[in-house]
């Protein structure tokens, strides 16, 4: 029997009271959401192929049984090396450092792909990412639903429901709401990618521990924004559930 869902709404996610139960096996044709986080930078000459892989995985969804949820996280530590990435985000750097404490400090690099907070692969290794996604899709996941809308012209508010957290999850969980933007282009004039025009999708714009994301700049294309919710172990960093939705 399914447990009643946890409904997260309002301005703050204040406590985890997630319903726990035996996660049902995916139905035929059902895709399990699997998060692929790419840590990248416009200052890194090895990153553009990985950016292309992330866009392709998001567009083609090539892994049977998996719904790939892409997150392009542009880190900041390349910004002092000749070119400042306009999409770089301190929250992206902090998030990669959190994973470094799990995978090892020598496993902080670009481009790096992290799959469901559990496995890490070189970000341009498309086959390796696909294998990790396929393995992740076979694991039990919580059921997560998400809707998001502009409550005001510059404020996104999300509504999240979480149910059936797998019974083997014993740690405290946190819920993050993430705002992404597709279809970005940048003409790079300096640094390792000087002279190139780079293209990015699923660029992470905001990472929030609340369901309200204020002060969304008018320059961000509303028709290219998406919301993502991630339910993740505070200690292990493993993602136990996720969802994505267009912003209405």
* Nearest partner of 125 among 204, 46, 41, judged by Cα: 46
pLDDT at 102: 96
How far out from the chain centre does Cα 100 lie?
17
Query: Taking 60 as the threshold, does the pLDDT of residue 133 lie above it?
Result: yes
Over residues 42-63, the pLDDT tens digits come to 999 999 999 999 999 999 999 9
116-120 contacts at long range (C-beta below 8 A, 24 or more positions apart): 116/34, 116/35, 116/238, 116/239, 117/35, 117/37, 117/232, 117/233, 117/236, 117/237, 117/238, 117/239, 118/238, 118/239
Q: Tell me, yes or no, if the pTM score tops 0.85.
A: yes
Distance CA 14, CA 11 (A): 9
Residue 105 pLDDT level (bands cut at 50, 70, 90): confident
Mind listing the domains of the chain with CATH numbers? 6-23+31-246 (2.60.40.10)
């Amino acid at each position: 029997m399914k447990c009643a869902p946890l409904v997260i709404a309002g301005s703050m996610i204040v406590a985890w009271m997630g319903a726990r139960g035996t996660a049902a096996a995916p139905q035929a044709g059902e895709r399990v959401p699997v998060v692929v986080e790419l840590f990248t930078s416009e200052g890194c000459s090895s990153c553009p192929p990985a950016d292309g892989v992330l866009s392709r995985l998001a567009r083609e969804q090539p892994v049977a049984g998996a719904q790939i949820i892409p997150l392009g996280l542009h880190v900041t530590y390349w910004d002092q090396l000749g070119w400042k990435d306009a999409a770089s985000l301190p929250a992206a750097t902090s998030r990669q450092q959190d994973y470094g404490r799990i995978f090892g400090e020598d496993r902080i690099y670009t481009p790096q792909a992290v799959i469901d907070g559990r496995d890490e692969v070189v970000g341009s290794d498309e086959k390796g990412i696909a294998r990790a996604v396929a393995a992740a899709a076979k694991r039990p996941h919580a059921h997560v639903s998400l809707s998001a809308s502009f409550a005001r012209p510059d404020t996104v508010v999300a509504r999240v429901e979480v149910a059936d957290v797998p019974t083997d999850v014993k740690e405290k969980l946190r819920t993050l709401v993430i705002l992404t933007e597709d279809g970005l282009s940048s003409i790079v004039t300096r640094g390792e990618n000087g002279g190139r025009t780079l293209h990015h999708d699923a660029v992470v714009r905001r990472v929030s521990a609340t369901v309200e994301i204020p002060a969304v700049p008018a320059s961000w294309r509303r028709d290219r924004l998406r919301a993502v919710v991630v339910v993740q172990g505070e200690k292990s960093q493993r993602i136990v559930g996720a969802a994505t939705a267009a912003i209405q």
